Structure 1
Amino acid sequence: MNRKIRNGLVIAGFGTFGILGVTILVANVRKADDGLRVYAAQTASDADETTINGWESEVDNTIYCTGSVSKVYVTAAVMQLVDQGKVDLDAPVTDYIDDFKMADERYKDITVRMLMNHSSGLMGTVLKDDTLINDNVLDREKLMLTNLATQHLKADPGAYSSYCNDGFDLLEIIVERVSGMDYTTYVEKNIADKIGATSIGTSDNMFENENLVDIYSNEKCYGNEYCLDFGAGGIVSNAKDTCEFGSTFFKGDSRLLSEKCKDEMNTLSTASPYSFYGLGWDEVSIKQYEDAGVKVLCKGGDTLNQHANLMVAPDEEISVCVTTSGGSSGYNKAVCEALMNIALEEQGIEIDEVTAPEVEFKNAVPEEFKKYEGYYASPYSGVIEVTFPDMKYMLLKTGTDTTSESYFKYTDNGFVRVKGDIEADNVKVDPEYTCYRVEEINGGIYIVADMISNNSDLVNNENTTIVAEMMAPNPVSENVINAWKERENQKYAITSDKYSSAIYDTPFVEMTELDGSGYIMVNMTMGVRILRIEDENTASFYTTIPGDASRDMFDMTVNDDGTVVCSNGYSAIPVEVLDKLTKDVTKVALKTDEGTWFGIDDSLANTSISVDRPENSAVFVYDKYGDVIYSSHMKGYGDTIPLPKGGYIAFLGEDGGTVAIKYE
């Protein structure tokens, strides 16, 4: 594996990932003369460049948004205040943010530590206006605190850890309230300056920096993307400076934090075997490294279009960072692991590649599993139906309109996924090893997965996580079921975000009533969520899965006019009631945080328009499938706006603005 990387197969792999820009760095400052070692650094400048050729010897200065790697930064910032005796990790958050309120009295029990280890019980993420294109003007603190004041908790504070962005934005506010500085200034003075970093910042001080990476969607360049959730995901940096930040967690490095505070961050913060959070870090216990006697810390990060991963071995003094435009943090992590393994090998430490265990298939499934048949909610697959045909194997059906089937044979380890002719019992273990176990935890029934996969052609990844929760009976009346069924098979268009919001690249929401079960499946840009129907117009979050699987929960209400309002800040209108854009429409009055949508009338199909619009505005056009084909945020978008048959057009801006339309 290491030889392959050195021979350039990492680079060959990037072409298949859709990565448009990449910087890869390994820092090893164990010896003073080692400095920063660059294994590869390259930036692709064009959207159609699918391969990256050769190796660069110079450190690439391109600045990327590090996404959720920002959580380690804000945790470090708060821990500096802990070192100074100004913050107590186990004090209530309300001690530091007196205007933090929720529609749930349990919020008073949330501590600072719970924000850092994802156990606060907060729903997850206030998504409204969290990412803007070519814009950085927003009072994000006011928006978030106002939204949280309307929310309730999904769990008792401290009950279990479930990935949560909002907790880290609250940490950002704590830094500001306690230090008396705005967060960007604090990071600049107390983190960047102390480690000699020149690119670490936020959209406040790095806006329109010439080194910021461009982002691409549908092979179109959109310029710069800015995450306004500074604490949760808004730190920008080049890979060199992020690598340098990672090196501050080396043993004996006191530039930012005391050893006591670093040990707090680097210690497993939950007793659950299904999550490995430290404080700020995603993982502080990674089995293949622990087996070799090496502690490795890991944090991944994703915005809509930029991705990062940071891995640190504190005792061996290795810091690895991969930043990309395009791809995913999962791919970045695979490259980080591969390079970490090379660096450890150079110190004489071999990391054994993870391999699937040998298994022996059983001829029958024990009768005790019969009670686990039923429907399960999964954020990865939507709804899963579990059955045990003739008690010979486990059958999983996923999907609604179309159904896919997976087969699992019973073994001593659990139910192992197989390929082949299941009825003839002529099967073998799936090369992507997956073993499911059904477990009862705190009164709930869950599917736990042990997985060994390789989606990068670099390293095998081992992961144990809860992937689904059994859907308890939720009897509701036929009238209620019919009310939700009528909302199926139509799109809802988000209208509530600022004109520069990145959500308008994928703004459509769809929902499916799940066959009279009392649940609906909601599909939006962040993925699939299962909600429990409460009445004709209300549905609430359902899953209570530790780890990533219960992240970003929300409740939903449908107003009398058909508008869907989500507790995460989004509002959406049904496209079937949209007015039609015809030549009679020559002007559109713009409204702040309220997009004006039209369906494209057939009389204008496959024609075009041009517009005269204010600077603080945007126009988006979508085809009949909901895919964006034109946006005024695209670089070089031109003056001609296409109007596809059966498509939609959105005019976005601010109060007082007007768009004038000229037809061809």
Structure 2
Amino acid sequence: MRAKRLFLLSSIMSMMLAVLAPLNAFAATPGDASSSYATTTKAAAEKASLLTKQYGTTSVQYALIDQGKIVVSGQSGKNDVAGKIPLTANTMYGIGSTSKVFTAAAVMQLVDAGKVDLDKPVVQYIPEFKMKDERYKQITPRMLLNHSAGIAGTASRNASLFSDNDTFAHDNLLKQLSTQVLKADPGAFSVYCNDCFSLSEILVEKVSGTDFTSYIHEHFSEPLGMTNTGTPQDDLDESRMAALYLSPYEQQLPNETTNFIGAGGIYSTAADLARFSQIFTGQAEGLSSKSANAMAQPEYKNGLWPEDADNSIGYGLGWDSVDLFPFGDYGIQALTKGGDTILYHSSIVVLPEQNMAAAVLSSGGSSALNQLLATQILLQALKEKGAIDDIKPGKSFGLPVKADMPQELLGEAGVYGSSTQLLMVGITKDGLLSLASPQDPSSPAETYTYSADGSFINANGSAKINLVKERNGRTYLWVRQYALVPGLGQIAVSEYVDEKLSANDISDETRAAWQGRDGKRYFLVSEKYTSMAYLVASSAQVQLFKNVPGYIMSHKITGPDTAASDLQIPAIGGRDNGPVQFFNQQQGDTTAEYLQASGYRYISQDNVWPIYQGKHAWVTIPTSGDAKWYTIPDAAAGRTMHVTLPSAGSYAVYDENGAIVAFSIINDGPVVLPKNGTIVFAGDAGAKFDVTLTK
């Protein structure tokens, strides 16, 4: 699963890199490297150490392969608080969405075998695949692998769990898709989609007649000698996994299990990923050269996309980019794929014509940081072996050269939106463009000056903006940026970041219904008790903005209880934007309001009651399996809660701002209840919790 998104332009890198407070790190330990790569070995160790000392990465592991031989490898950071468990080349990490390259390669093997045609309908291979939208019959395997199928996004219910390989996400995917409509015509444009690859996983299983984990081992890990690669369905030793940490907990967390394997659930090491890269460079069997070449084609150009520019995103089949910046400046094609789960991160960069690749895995940090490290290792190695003369300096658009702005651009001012943000775009007659966020009104607006090249450029020349009206009649905010990460180089961004929102008039009845929910919080009830969602995303809040009438964020309000996205944004801005629906359901003697969004179900704060304030109480999970939430009244605040857990259950406590205070999956012990906080009990239907409050 990828986690990259843009907010205001000045915060692009902070969102992409998820930089945390610096952590203490042990010295980097370089692996066995060829003596001809002494400079690269030293540089890799120094930059890996930079990740752990300055960029919030707990641990990092890296490997460089050249001509079929791993010539540089190493690791940096900590693997446990006490320092008793060493970090080694065999320490395994979750690789997140880098798993998608395995899935794409598996499909292409079936193409090589004549069992799959990339351009035949998916329903020929998965007859059970159905959707509430007849266009689904047009979806092909190619569209799944290049993200252009038009599927809404991610059916992630019960997909990210602590030390739990529950197959719910895999087993229920077709059922969940059967209730959905497409957000675009199949093939119209490529927009990042996890469900495309979960469906591809099922395709591989249907056509091959074997489960996906067995297929990966038989066709990749065993032939390539990838002895440290597996999935949640393997009997993996968790002590071999890289240690995970997340504030406010100082102790090691349980292992993260991502259960949509084809989209993001494989575990591996940097060395194993480097070995895997050989099927794309022709150094090992596994794919025909025709299929490897097909995966490296610019599939994103088949649909709506901005004009070519330096970029880190440009989809092939399975790849995030088939022309990764800055390698094009050296005349070298670079393929890349990154992955971000909640706590694990990975990146692989492959240079097919050079028969080289670098892989970087980490606990903490981000795939963007890992990609930069992999890029730096490869550039240093290319220089050291004489394949390039020098490493080029960073790039800029140059300082703005003020010019007279065409006055018709004034009409492009307005509200722009993406899946996760809103932007107020202002344009003045003298050529000043401003960006402001309704979500963060305290932040100053960013400003860009209309320049002689026909774009708006910021003051230091690192970013430029154009307002583009595309052939579909929609207007987009096209952002290009060279974002510098000190010590690690630049990431180039070129995306339609946001789309201009059209006016959406709604009835008084509909407006009143939504205004009644404005500011209300809804609490997650549908996740399994081992879900990581209870740690990081246990509630959602309805937020309306007066200057964006008729919308809930970028979703058009379509009725008193419904809203749906109309966005048609390629790449990242239009991802995971399924519909929003409210409904009422009987809960005991009362009727409760629920929110359904992104496959999750939430209950309104109006239907959450105070925890019993006496000394002793019992909480029982209803037959629906829904989690039970309680508020913490003044009479209970400051008291210590003791819980006797059932065999299949957990509880979590949050403060008044929704920040996690305690989660029994991590630390099952007494907890002092915070004032105005909340408590959730989750478990199998019928699970019973014995709760005691003491002073």
Q: Normalized against structure 1, the TM-score is what?
A: 0.91
Distance apart, 1:248 and its partner CA: 2.1
The equivalent of 2:635 in structure 1 is 603
Q: Report what 2:168 is aligned to.
A: 139
Change (3 A) 1:6 1:170: closer
Shift of 1:415: 4.1
1:530-574: CA deviation from partner (whole Å, max 9, x where unpaired): 211001110001221011111111101111356443352101112
The residue that corresponds to 2:512 in the other structure is 482
Cα offsets for 1:108-159 (capped at 9, x unmatched): 0000110000000000111211111111123333321111101000000001
Task: Please identify, of 64-73 and 574-583, the stretch whose mean Cα deviation from structure 2 is larger.
Answer: 574-583
Question: For structure 1, which segment, 303-312 or 238-247, has the greater mean C-alpha deviation from structure 2 after superposition?
Answer: 238-247
The 5 Å alignment of 1:57-96 reads 60-96=89-125
Counterparts of 1:624-643 in structure 2 under 5 Å? 624-634=656-666, 637-643=667-673
Q: How far apart are 1:510 and its partner, in Å?
A: 1.4
Counterpart residue number, 1:424: none
> Residues of 1 paired with 2:451 and 2:410: CA distance?
16
CA distance in structure 2 between the aligned counterparts of 1:23 and 1:282, rounded to whole angstroms? 21
Q: 1:80 to 1:224 in 2, by over 3 A?
A: same
> Which amino acid is the alignment partner of residue 344 of structure 1?
L
Partner of 1:411: 451
Q: Counterpart of 2:396?
A: 356
Which whole-Å CA distance do the structure 2 matches of 1:144 and 1:118 have between them? 17
**Aligned mate of 2:534, from 499, 504, 507:** 504
Q: Which runs of 4+ in 1 moved over 6 A?
A: 1-4
Distance 1:343 1:541 in 2: 46
2:432 corresponds in structure 1 to: 393
Q: Secondary structure at the match of 1:203?
A: coil
- TM superposition shift of 1:416: 3.9
Give the 5 Å matches for 1:233-248.
Answer: 233-248=264-279
User: Out of 142, 147, 150, which is 1:113 matched to?
Assistant: 142
Instruction: Find the aligned partners of 1:306 and 1:397 in 2 and give their Cα distance.
Output: 32
Distance 2:161 2:45 in 1: 39
Give the aligned partner of residue 618 of structure 1.
650
Q: How many residues align?
A: 631
Deviations 1:457-498 (A, max 9, x none): 311122211111000111112332232122122221111111
1:599–1:515 CA distance, 2 compared to 1 (3 A): same
Shift of 1:388: 1.9
CA distance, structure 2, for counterparts of residue 366 and residue 48 of structure 1: 63
RMSD: 2.2
Distance 1:65 1:559, change over 3 A: same
Corresponding residue of 2:413 = 373
Distance 1:41 1:488 in 2: 48
Q: State the alpha-carbon separation in 2 of the partners of residues 133 and 4 from structure 1.
A: 36
- Residue segments in structure 2 that go unaligned for 5+ positions in a row: 1-38, 308-312, 585-590
Deviation at 1:210, TM superposition (A): 2.4
Given residue 19 of structure 1, which amino acid in structure 2 is its aligned partner? T
Equivalent residues in 2 for 1:550-569, closer than 5 Å: 550-560=574-584, 561=591, 563-569=593-599
1:249 aligns with 2:289: no
Q: 1:208 to 1:627 in 2, by over 3 A?
A: farther
Match of 2:195 among 166, 172, 193: 166
Q: Deviation at 1:660?
A: 0.6
1:296 partner amino acid: A
**Could you tell me whether the CA contact under 8 Å between 1:435 and 1:451 is conserved in 2?**
yes
**Does the alignment pair 1:44 with 2:78?**
yes
Conserved? CA contact 1:364–1:393, under 8 Å:
no
Letter in 2 for 1:73: F
1:216 deviates by: 1.9
User: How far apart, in 1, do the equivalents of 2:56 and 2:410 lie?
Assistant: 44
Q: Quick check: 1:658 aligned with 2:692?
A: no
Contact 2:230/2:236 (CA < 8 Å) preserved in 1?
no
Distance in 2 between residues matched to 1:646 and 1:4, nearest whole Å: 52
Decide which moves more: 132-141 or 397-406.
397-406
**Farther-moved stretch of structure 1 (158-167 vs 339-348):** 339-348
Out of 453, 478, 481, the residue aligned to residue 483 of structure 2 is 453
Q: 1:187 aligns with which of 213, 216, 240?
A: 216
- In 2, Cα distance between equivalents of 1:558 and 1:375: 25
The equivalent of 1:341 in structure 2 is 379
Counterpart residue number, 2:559: 535
**Distance in structure 2 (CA, Å) of the matches to 1:363 and 1:376:** 25
Aligned to 1:276: 314
Residue 511 of structure 1: how far off its partner (Å)? 2.1
Which residue of 206, 231, 236 corresponds with 1:177?
A: 206
Which amino acid is the alignment partner of residue 602 of structure 1? Answer: D
Decide whether the 8 Å contact of 1:531 with 1:541 is kept in 2.
Answer: yes
- Matched residue type, 1:318: M
SS of the aligned residue for 1:558 comes to strand
- Identify if the C-alpha distance between structure 1 residues 564 and 646 changes in structure 2 by more than 3 Å, giving closer, same or farther: same
Question: What is aligned with 1:526?
Answer: none
> 1 CA distance for matches of 2:49 and 2:408?
50
Tell whether the 8 Å contact from 1:42 to 1:60 is kept in structure 2 after alignment: no
CA distance 1:96–1:576, change in 2 (3 Å): same
Q: Report whether the alignment pairs 1:544 with 2:568.
A: yes
Taking the aligned partners of 2:338 and 2:412, their CA distance within structure 1 comes to: 34
- The Cα offsets for residues 42-77 of structure 1, whole Å up to 9 and x where unpaired, read as 34134699xxxxxx9x95211111000000001111
Per-residue Cα deviation, 1:565-616 (whole angstroms, up to 9, x for no partner): 3352101112243110123461011246411100012111122111111122
TM-score normalised to the size of structure 2?
0.87
Q: Deviations over 1:482-530 (max 9, x none)?
A: 32122122221111111111111121111212216444345xxxxxxx2
Matching of residue 572 in structure 1 with residue 602 in structure 2: yes
Answer yes or no: is 1:232 the counterpart of 2:263: yes
Distance in 2, Cα, partners of 1:62 & 1:3:
19
CA change 1:48–1:416 in 2 (3 A) is farther
Q: Structure 1 residues 9, 72: CA separation in 2 closer, same or farther (over 3 Å shift)?
A: closer
Q: Aligned residues: percent identity?
A: 31
Distance 2:207 2:685 in 1: 36
Contact kept? 1:518, 1:533, Cα under 8 Å: no
- Secondary structure, aligned partner of 1:175: helix
